Chain A
Amino acid sequence: MVFSIAYHFLRDRSLAEELAQEVFLHLYKNLRAIQSSSHLVYWLRKVASHRCIDQARRQKLRPRLSLTEYLERAPEPASRGPVSDPLLAGVLRRLVARLPERSRMIVILRFQEDLEPAEIAEMLGIPLGTVKSNLHRSLALLRARLEREPKGIAR
């Protein structure tokens, strides 16, 4: 989960592993604060989200690659389960990676972690209205960008 949030956010496997390592070290130092197994997952998710956003802001990770360059990058690692269209999945992941940091994390928490907008708002410390409008705009933007893809990828 921690690695996965970092990987989808940062789009760099080694950076994601490094960040995940930092999160687990932080967990080790703060074990006394953990109240239950469900709290543990909540805590990990929250710390991972905030660290990813901080990391991206420090590095100003806003890839401005063209779609062709995206497609020429290293192949995606094998996912756990079958995906209906691996090429579409790869394109979507790269388009998500081009979103601004906060929007990117909102999308990841919504569609990878299956959190409700209210839960995302609480986790990121932002108003619920901001999450909802951000999600709405991000989905519209992703759809629009996907529409501009060569036929055979976009729905």
Chain B
Amino acid sequence: MNRLVCFFVLLTCAAAQERVQFDWSKLAAKASEKVDVNLEGPMLEMASRFLSGEKGDEAKIKQLVQGLKGVYVKTFEFEKDGQYSEADLNEIRSQLRAPEWNKIVDVQEKHESMGVYMKMNGKQPEGIVVLAVEPKELTFVQILGPIDLSMLSELGGKFGIPKMEMGPKPKPSPKPKTSDSKKDD
């Protein structure tokens, strides 16, 4: 009986580890504006069913979300700088240092950072996390399941999803920009 209990505890822990978990309540309490999307299981299926299978763009999104296990987005906007710190994010970052997560993009600028992490099962992507840290805005995106990044890039420009450039365009060297979080959005 004890072994059975231990087995179920381990199974529960393993299932919980599939998703990066974090208690956002402390940060949410300080934010002036929030976006909180948690779509998984039946709700994600329902959302997908309500996408048109006939109209070109919604049909592509419908295909994109096929097979996904969960879509989670947290965005917090703060009125002032310094209302949260890097230390507040240590717990998330430590979970993303687990072997199954690979950091594929790591951009550090003066007051901003952006990390994109992918979870792979062999050659098959199993999830993606984006953590965007700015002085007055924090965004955490987690998509679990076989996300097709190239399909996501094809949807560029639709429904406000900006097009992803898959390679740098030849341009003259720009003057260094001052960081401005509003511009990036």
Contact, chains A and B (beta carbon distance below 8 A): yes
Identify the A interface with B (CB < 8 A). Answer: 116, 118, 122, 128
A32 to chain B, nearest CB (A): 21
The winner among A116, A118, A122, A128 for most chain B CB atoms within 10 A is A118
Distance, CA A128 to CA B41, complexed state (A): 10
Closest to A118 in B: B42
Within 8 A of A (CB), among B24-54: 41-43, 46
A38 to chain B, nearest CB (A): 12
Residues of chain A lying within 8 A (CB to CB) of residue B41: 118, 128
Residues of chain A lying within 8 A (CB to CB) of residue B42: 116, 118, 128
Identify the B interface with A (CB < 8 A). Answer: 41-43, 46
Distance, CA A122 to CA B42, complexed state (A): 10
A129 to chain B, nearest CB (A): 11
The winner among B41, B42, B43, B46 for most chain A CB atoms within 10 A is B42
Residues of chain A lying within 8 A (CB to CB) of residue B43: 118, 122
Distance, CA A118 to CA B42, complexed state (A): 7
Distance, CA A43 to CA B124, complexed state (A): 42
A61 to chain B, nearest CB (A): 31
Closest to B46 in A: A118
Distance, CA A122 to CA B46, complexed state (A): 13
Distance, CA A122 to CA B43, complexed state (A): 10
Residues of chain B lying within 8 A (CB to CB) of residue A128: 41-42
A-B contact pairs, 6 of them (CB 8 A): A116-B42, A118-B41, A118-B46, A122-B43, A128-B41, A128-B42
Residues of chain B lying within 8 A (CB to CB) of residue A118: 41-43, 46
B62 to chain A, nearest CB (A): 19
Closest to A121 in B: B42
B111 to chain A, nearest CB (A): 39
A120 to chain B, nearest CB (A): 11
The 3 A-B residue pairs whose C-beta atoms are closest, nearest first, are: A118-B42, A128-B42, A128-B41
Closest to A116 in B: B42
